[in-house]
Amino acid sequence: MKYYSLNNKAPQVSFCEAVIKGLASDKGLYFPESRTPLPTSFFENIEAYSNNEIAYKLIKQFVGDEIPVKDLKEIIADVLQFNFPLIEVEKNIYSLELFHGPTMAFKDVGARFMARCLSYFNNKNPNEVTVLVATSGDTGGAVASGFLGVEGVNVVILYPSGKVSDIQEKQLTTLGQNIKALEVDGVFDDCQAMVKKAFLDTSITSKMQLTSANSINIARWLPQMFYFAFAYKQLKDKSKKLVFSIPSGNYGNICAGMMAQKLGLPIDLFIAATNANKVVTDYLESGNYQPKPSIQTISNAMDVGDPSNFIRIEKLHDNDFDKLKNNLHSYSFTDNETREAMLHLFKECNYTADPHGAIGYLGVKEHLKNNDNTQCVFLETAHPVKFLPVLDEVIANQIEIPSQIKSVIDKEKEATKIETYKELKDFLLK
Ligand SMILES: *Cc1c(COP(=O)(O)O)cnc(C)c1O
């Protein structure tokens, strides 16, 4: 499979090169040159397949023959070491729990898949690779855990000081080994801007191979297709229209769902559920795409003012606004609405959601106001324990701390504070 840059001013590359480079030389995101839908019989009989088999079928064409079948299957088996349960919270409303991995965030799957691909390619390439990543919350922990101890790969994570939860901070600052954390005096957009600048800085890239582990990277982005198929597999009634509501920040997860739909997964509609950062919601309403500085909310992993994957979503809809509007709806919710939804889910449905999942649920509720004959799945993208302060404030009920979290809580934080791009550069080059 070849990948081309969505800016169209860089050469096409292989899967391997796209994974190692992250972003094309013209700053464009890589996009697969083609896609072949899977046979309908596969989706009709999806219950007969294991999660590993489903994942293999979905990802195989995007990897091509660059990783031999046996190795690719091993990578998948190693990545998918946990469950993805679909829980009915109300009639026709399901939560797809994506938080049962090592850092309790859905990003674990993408990060683990990417780390293992990079490690595979690295065996043949003796040069070290530095993964440089900006996080608004969960990416950092998932990447840190996914890449820990991977030979030939160094990881540098930038996060906005004071703007990630304590547990999130611990997850990305306590691992040591090949993982380094930089605490940036600023917001997520500042971190992302520094990372983007570094990728284009030849005084850095001439000395070291940098790559991204944000959902910009195809090896982080594409494995997220699996979730949508895992949900479909678990649905008992497959005859009703199926709608997914996805709490969205950089729009990687939802965009992967759309790719799965292109491969034939029968999804009727996507809902991008967002917080006050509502550039896409506004766009669908006005036709005017207007990135904004990010606004801080209680669902901080979605505090993104200029979602990097949106260009891929447009491409998947042939850059046709009407096509897009037929397949994607979007609603935005305030912090107060989010808290109320968490409380409602807890009291009425006996379900504890984190703020992101609660926004997904709100997206479903909004949709159902005008469309009752559908089945809706919202993605629960993080374990509620990762947002303890919000949870304590809203629900005031003890929840059990899972072992994955216990293991980092008491560890010592290690991070280097930086304020400027120059400090990042010095750090990388030293
Ligand atoms: C990253 C993240 C999101 C947003 O996912 P995107 O793919 O960036 O849209 C939502 N919820 C949680 C908990 C996250 O960590």
pLDDT, tens digit, 9 for 90 and up, residues 396-424: 777 888 888 888 888 999 999 999 999 99
Q: Which residue, 64, 12, 7, 59, is CA-closest to 312?
A: 7
For residues 430 and 428, give the distance between their C-alpha atoms in angstroms, rounded to a whole number.
Answer: 6
Confidence band for 125, pLDDT divided at 50, 70 and 90: low
pLDDT at 251 over 70: yes
- Amino acid in position 182: L
The sign of the CA dihedral 4, 10, 14, 16 is: negative
* Residue of 159, 215, 253, 303 with the most ligand 1 atoms within 8 Å of its CB, for mutation: 253
> Quick one: the chain helix, strand, coil %, rounded to 5?
45, 15, 35
CB 126 within 8 A of CB 206: no
Task: Tell me if 180 CB under 6 Å of ligand 1.
Answer: no
What is the reported pLDDT for 150?
Answer: 87
The sign of the CA dihedral 255, 256, 257, 262 is: positive
Task: Tell me if 249 CB under 6 Å of ligand 1.
Answer: yes
CA of 103 to the centre of ligand 1 (A): 13
CA of 126 to the centre of ligand 1 (A): 33
Task: Tell me if 248 CB under 6 Å of ligand 1.
Answer: yes
C-alpha pair distances (Å), 164 with each of 214, 281, 289, 376: 16, 24, 27, 30
Q: How many other C-beta atoms are found inside a 10 Å radius of the C-beta of residue 180?
A: 21
Percent of the chain with pLDDT over 70: 99
| Average pLDDT of the chain to the nearest whole number | 94
Residue nearest to atom 8 of ligand 1 (CA): 250
CA of 339 to the centre of ligand 1 (A): 18
Provide the CATH number for the domain formed by 83-106+220-399 in this structure.
3.40.50.1100
Task: Tell me if 136 CB under 6 Å of ligand 1.
Answer: no
pLDDT digits (tens, 9 = 90+) for 177-230: 999 999 999 988 899 889 989 988 999 999 999 988 888 899 999 999 999 999
Residue 34 DSSP class: -
Task: Tell me if 250 CB under 6 Å of ligand 1.
Answer: yes
Encoding tokens for residue 356? 């992101």
What is the reported pLDDT for 260?
Answer: 98
pLDDT at 318 over 80: yes
CB 183 within 8 A of CB 416: yes
Residue nearest to atom 2 of ligand 1 (CA): 301
C-alpha pair distances (Å), 383 with each of 257, 271, 401: 21, 21, 10
pLDDT digits (tens, 9 = 90+) for 84-112: 999 999 999 999 999 999 999 899 999 99
CA of 152 to the centre of ligand 1 (A): 28
Residue 354 Cα: closest atom of ligand 1: 13
